[in-house]
Structure 1
Amino acid sequence: MTQAIPGFDYQRVPVADGVTLNVAVAGAGSPIVLLHGFPQTHLMWRHVAVDLAADHTVICPDLRGYGASDKPAARDADTYSKRTMAADIVTLAGRLGHDRFALAGHDRGALVAIRAGLDHPAAVTHLASLDVLPTLDMWDVLHGSSAAVAFHLYLMAQPPGLPEKMISASADAFFGYFLDMWAQDPRVIPADVRAEYLRASREAVPSIVADYRASAGIDIEHDRADRAAGNRLPMPVTVVQQDWGAALGFDAAALWRPWAADLEHRTTSAGHFMAEESPDEIIKLLRSLLARPHQG
């Protein structure tokens, strides 16, 4: 790791099966864990984290398989299921002394956060999801030519072998494509941070693909089981996303309501990398979420 969030202390914390996570920690007060997305590392939270650390304990890990965290070989579908990755985060917080904590995730990190809220409701006090739908709904809304915007989901859903070879053969072009196309202004990701994202992703192709492959398989099974059982996120939930519904023809808020009992849903004019493009907006939303009352 060549980049760090200013003022944060770094450590490696064992979480499960010999897997350790790289984590940056700063501040004091009620804890909040911030989970990054693709193709990024914990550095995507650098602006938001510094602000929140003024009055919260802020915990920014690299997810299993990403950044400077361990990247175990995918022994089976569960190795990179969101259930396993969520258990990592609950264990991490506990080992840092926090049995209860707020949780915010962007992109892949948001899917991990949602699963943590469903599987560990007693641990998660508040939940924020940035720019995703729950896995089951995400696949349901992708159809016809509109699914072309998510070509990477279909590529990485294929059996092991070909996706890894194709991506590894042109890793910087592949990952750089998303950094360029998903940002309204790619300049919000400075050259040194972009280089770190590309380096980290280049070194993690098998685990990144395994994470996405799980979302086309075992993660759907877990979501279906929760939907059938009527399980919901009981904590206050804030969702902020681009107006996907207008672009692809669905009502995002309506898709979210069955999952969250206490939901605030917002759209943003920022691009996908909203914590880097519009950090003040995300800070305001997270502080508003943390002020909402919760049980327990």
Structure 2
Amino acid sequence: MTMATIDGFHYKTLSGDDSVALNVAVGGSGPAVVLLHGFPQTHYMWREVAQDLVTEHTVIVPDLRGYGESGKPQADGPHTYSKRTMATDIVRVAGALGHERFGLIGHDRGALVGVRAGLDHPDKVRYLGILDVLPTLDTWNVLRGVHAKVAWHLYLMAQPAGLPEKMIKAVAEEFFASFLDTWDTDGSTFTPEVRRHYLDSSAGAVDSIVADFRATSGIDLDLDLADREAGRTLPMPVGVLSQDWGAQLGFDPLGIWKAWAHDVTYEPIDAGHYMAEEKPTEVARFIRALAARGRTRPRP
């Protein structure tokens, strides 16, 4: 695998839930902010944003379980890669570094972990930033008709264990490259070295990546439904930065997020899905503005 580290950050191996070893980059000082990566990436996607934020924050950047250099336990049940378990990983990592409360910013898969962390651990999360994703429940609700083809991989990896893994392993590089290429606005976001890092890392983690996605159509959906029925919402300031998927798929993104959070802002961005790498300065600005809102939030 092609290794990648963020310049100026030091690395630790810390224990998540069930003692899963997590690869964590740490830099800076000040109030903590945790940055969670998306698919098919690793913590390295945050390199420029993280280096921007270290002047005023302790920046914590883990590889999610199942990705990068973090542990990849075999999925022996639905909980192994549930977002509840992955959120517990993050709370434990932050606590091990001495931060009982922290800001949390997630992109794509990492944002789903962030939402679950905010719902399950509202006393820990000062503010929550979401980059280019909808909550699990709403993702499935908006995918209808021919427009659902944009999320074809969600349906593939939702299938029972066995066949999806075999299919993806047979063409792993082509499978993961299709997302890096299709979702990159102008094809210039990734250097050849960064692209190779993501491809090698993902190809070596097919089983765990599929298990992560499979949870989205099972236990993660069940947890969202239970929260919706109970009227549970996100009490912290929430900021959403996204492409304008609503125009294409016919939904109101701000309206969706208002059902989950009372203090929420929505900003469209003129960027592709990999916005933290395409426009890191704009993403860092978004995080700073959200952190300022979080400073005014009283402790629960």
Within-5 A mapping of 1:84-233: 84-233=85-234
Q: What is the distance in 2 between the residues matched to 1:78 and 1:189?
A: 33
1:33 aligned counterpart, secondary structure: strand
**Which residue of structure 2 lines up, in the alignment, with residue 73 of structure 1?**
74
Tell me the distance in 2 between the aligned counterparts of 1:144 and 1:16.
Answer: 38
Which amino acid in 2 is paired with 1:171? A
Residues in 1 aligned to 2:3 and 2:233: alpha-carbon distance in whole angstroms: 40
Q: Which residue of 1 aligns with 2:266?
A: 265
Q: 5 Å matches for 1:237-252? A: 237-252=238-253
How big is the shift at 1:272?
0.2
Q: Which runs of 5+ in 1 are unaligned?
A: none
SS at match of 1:75: coil
Q: Distance in 2 between matches of 1:168 and 1:295?
A: 48
Instruction: Provide, for residues 51-105 of structure 1, a one-character-per-residue CA deviation record: whole Å limited to 9, x for no partner.
Output: 0011100000000000000000000011000000000000110011100000000
Q: 1:31 aligned to 2:67?
A: no
* Equivalent residues of 1:27, 1:55 under 8 A apart: yes
User: Distance in 2 between the 1:273 and 1:294 partners?
Assistant: 29
**Match of 2:124, as an amino acid?**
A
Q: Aligned AA for 2:185?
A: Q
Tell me, yes or no, if structure 1 residue 294 matches structure 2 residue 280.
no
Structure 2 letter corresponding to 1:161: G
Unaligned runs of 5+ in 2: none
Inter-partner Cα distance in structure 2 for 1:272 and 1:60: 19
Secondary structure of the 2:123 match is coil
Match of 2:276 in 1: 275
Rounded to whole Å, the distance in 2 between the matches of 1:230 and 1:148 is 31
Give CA deviations for 1:115-158 in whole Å, capped at 9, x if unaligned: 00000000000100000000000000001100000000000000
How far apart are 1:185 and its partner, in Å? 2.3
| Alignment-mate amino acid for residue 206 of structure 1 | D
How far did residue 183 of structure 1 move?
1.1
TM-score (norm 2): 0.98
Checking the alignment, whether the CA contact within 8 Å between 1:11 and 1:23 is kept in structure 2 is yes
Give the distance between the partners of 1:145 and 1:157, measured in 2 at CA: 18
Q: State how far apart, in whole Å, the 2-side matches of 1:274 and 1:97 are.
A: 30
What is the CA RMSD across the aligned residues, in angstroms?
Answer: 0.7
* 1:10 to partner: Cα distance: 0.6
CA distance in 2, matches of 1:195, 1:109: 21
Q: Number of aligned residue pairs: give it.
A: 296
Q: Report the Cα offset of residue 166 of structure 1.
A: 0.6
Conserved 8 A contact 2:156-2:164: yes
**Amino acid paired to 1:176:** A
Paired residue for 2:50?
49
Task: Note if contact 1:235-1:295 (Cα within 8 Å) is conserved in structure 2.
Answer: no
* Contact persistence 2:127–2:290 (CA under 8 A): yes
SS in 2 for 1:70: coil
Describe the SS at the equivalent of 2:235: strand
Runs of 4+ in structure 1 deviating by more than 6 angstroms, as ranges, are none
CA deviation digits over 1:167-195, x for unaligned, max 9?
A: 00111100000000011023211111111
